[in-house]
Amino acid sequence: MSELDLAPLDNDVKVMGPGHSLPEEEPPWLVLLGLIYVFQWREQLDIILRRTMVSDTDHDVDYRFGCQSRNGGATDVVDRDRDIPHRLQEGLSLEEKRCLPSQIVIDNLNRVVRIVERHGENNTEAVNLACVGGEVPVEREDLGFDLYKGMVVWCFMALFTLGQMAYYAGWFLKSKVGIKKPLVLTMVVTYRCNLNCEHCLISDNLDSIPQPHTISYQDALAEMHSFYDEGARILFFEGGEPTIWKDGERTLRDLILAGKEMGYNVTGYTTNGTGDIFTESDVISVSLDGPREVHDTIRSPGVYDRLMANLEGIDHPNIFANMVVNKMNLDHVEETVRLVHENENINGIMLNFLTPPPHDIALTLEEKENVVKLALDLKRQGLPVLNTTKALEEMLIEDYGELCPKWMSAFVMPDRTRHYGCPFDGESCKDCGFDAVREYRLITRGSYKAITEMSKRFALSRQ
């Protein structure tokens, strides 16, 4: 494969891969940040209005309130009086009725996602009927006061979001004048895992990895404090399997809450989904390698059903699937994306390529090109592929070592060893399959799409 010389970015860079060039830089970053704020402002208003416009009585409930349908179709005004009898609300207290709209969250402003009500089958049916089509029960009278309450809460939320965006704007500006500090901290809290996945590098080499294999609670807090003081504001936990991490009575929940208390804007973790789901986290990434047969072949028999059972009924706005595409699941990418689209508990899917080793199941460049072409087509169809278009295109630049903005992301290992970029820095960079580093580079280059789409998902508090 020949080298293709490109215009220099932060340094003189050469990118491998004929025909795969870098996208042009986006418009000025100040304009982009303003657009992000306006977009987030609109989303918060939409959510607050839906949460506050709620009936306080069993009478005179109007179901003719139009909103976006789940499939993103046009706004329709539908008379639900015949389909949603008032008796379905019988047995609910006033406080419980106020809570119903809070179970509706907005994903990309045009998809209403139903979170299963936890008060029994009859009430679940009421929530289903009222929310799946997009209609929220609204009281005919006293909407003025409810709207006032909603506007007050909305303003507080907008100011809170603005504070976060102001910090990111300052971080961005400093990076442009040479003050480059990591914004994202990933804590690898343990190498241990309850599975033995086919493509996992750690499981086959655990005995050769020096101790300790698990970080202590106090050491984790020290590293989290240290990087927070340096400027990190996004905190992720990985493994191994982070949900099995323990230090005495301390669990991953304690680390998540500690991160929030320190002031991290967002906390998240990656999990195989077979254990506890810690909903205190702002972001939850669940590994999904394909439909049941494929997923269980790669991970272990019965894992798929355990994952789906654990997600059932979880009330969380930001759970997404992470798929590592390799030769074992190459032919099931579209099926997996559509599976996520139909699952009300998963709010999108991020596609990555296997970063070898192992090399025997890693994709060829031609196979990667076919996956990217498919993913772009699925995005155009409105399916929930979370990778940005430009990041998908840059997935075809296999040697990403010189392009990767290593300074933006820090990793801490169980023995407190620190890495910048990722722990696989070196030979693995020549076949890098991580989408995140592409999104990072695009963010540092001022990409409007990368900033808006990734900040909504990973940089702004959602709870």
CA distance 371 to 70: 27
Least confident stretch, 199-213, 231-245, 408-422: 199-213
- Distance from the first to the final alpha carbon of the chain: 47
Confidence category of residue 448, pLDDT binned at 50, 70, 90: confident
Question: Average pLDDT, stretch 360-364?
Answer: 95
- The 10 Å Cβ neighbour count of residue 248 is 8
pTM (predicted TM-score) = 0.70
Decide if pLDDT at 139 tops 80: no
Predicted confidence (pLDDT) per residue in 267-291, tens digit: 999 999 999 999 999 999 999 999 9
Q: Rg of the chain's alpha carbons, rounded to an integer?
A: 23
Would you state the pLDDT for residue 462? 59
Decide if pLDDT at 366 tops 90: yes
Most confident of 2-11, 93-102, 322-331: 322-331
Question: Average pLDDT, stretch 130-143?
Answer: 38
Report which residue type is found at 268: G
Decide if pLDDT at 70 tops 80: no
Question: Average pLDDT, stretch 359-375?
Answer: 96
Decide if pLDDT at 214 tops 60: yes
Better pLDDT: 21 or 165:
165
Predicted confidence (pLDDT) per residue in 80-104, tens digit: 333 333 333 344 444 333 333 333 3
Confidence category of residue 2, pLDDT binned at 50, 70, 90: very low
Better pLDDT: 235 or 143:
235
Confidence category of residue 315, pLDDT binned at 50, 70, 90: confident
Decide if pLDDT at 42 tops 80: no
CA distance 83 to 63: 10
CA distance 191 to 107: 33
Confidence category of residue 72, pLDDT binned at 50, 70, 90: very low
Confidence category of residue 25, pLDDT binned at 50, 70, 90: very low
SS in 3 state form for the chain?
A: CCEEECCCCCCCCEEECCCCCCCCCCCCHHHHHHHHHHHHHHHHHHHHHHHHCCCCCCCCEECCCCECCCCCCCCECCCCCCCCCHHHHCCCCHHHHHHHHHHEEEECCCEEEECCCCCCHHHHHHHHHHHCCCCCCEECCCHHHHHHHHHHHHHHHHHHHHHHHHHHHHHHHHHHCCCCCCCEEEEECECCCCCCCCCCCCHHHHHHCCCCCECCHHHHHHHHHHHHHHCCCEEEEECCCHHHCEECCEEHHHHHHHHHHHCCCEEEEEECCCCCCCCCCCEEEEECCCCHHHHHHHCCCCHHHHHHHHHCCCCCCCEEEEEEECCCCHHHHHHHHHHHHHCCCCCCEEEEECCCCCCCCCCCHHHHHHHHHHHHHHHHCCCCECCCHHHHHHCCCCCCCCCCCHHHEEEECCCCCEEECCCCCCHHHHHCCCHHHHHHHHHHCCCHHHHHHHHHHHHCCCC
Give 263's contacts (C-beta < 8 A, 6+ positions apart): 228, 233
CA distance 178 to 196: 43
Better pLDDT: 65 or 319:
319
CA distance 221 to 316: 26
Predicted confidence (pLDDT) per residue in 372-389, tens digit: 999 999 999 999 999 999
Which residue has 């595409």 as its token pair? Answer: 325
The topology under which CATH files domain 180-459 is: TIM Barrel (3.20.20)
Question: Average pLDDT, stretch 9-38?
Answer: 46
Better pLDDT: 272 or 201:
272
Task: Name the token pair of 272.
Answer: 């195989």
CA distance 412 to 423: 9
Decide if pLDDT at 191 tops 90: yes
Give 111's contacts (C-beta < 8 A, 6+ positions apart): 68, 70, 71, 72
Confidence category of residue 163, pLDDT binned at 50, 70, 90: confident
Would you state the pLDDT for residue 198? 84
Which residue has 């086959």 as its token pair? Answer: 204
Show me where the domains of the chain are located. Answer: 32-146, 180-459
Would you state the pLDDT for residue 208? 80
Would you state the pLDDT for residue 159? 62
Q: Rounded mean pLDDT of the chain?
A: 75
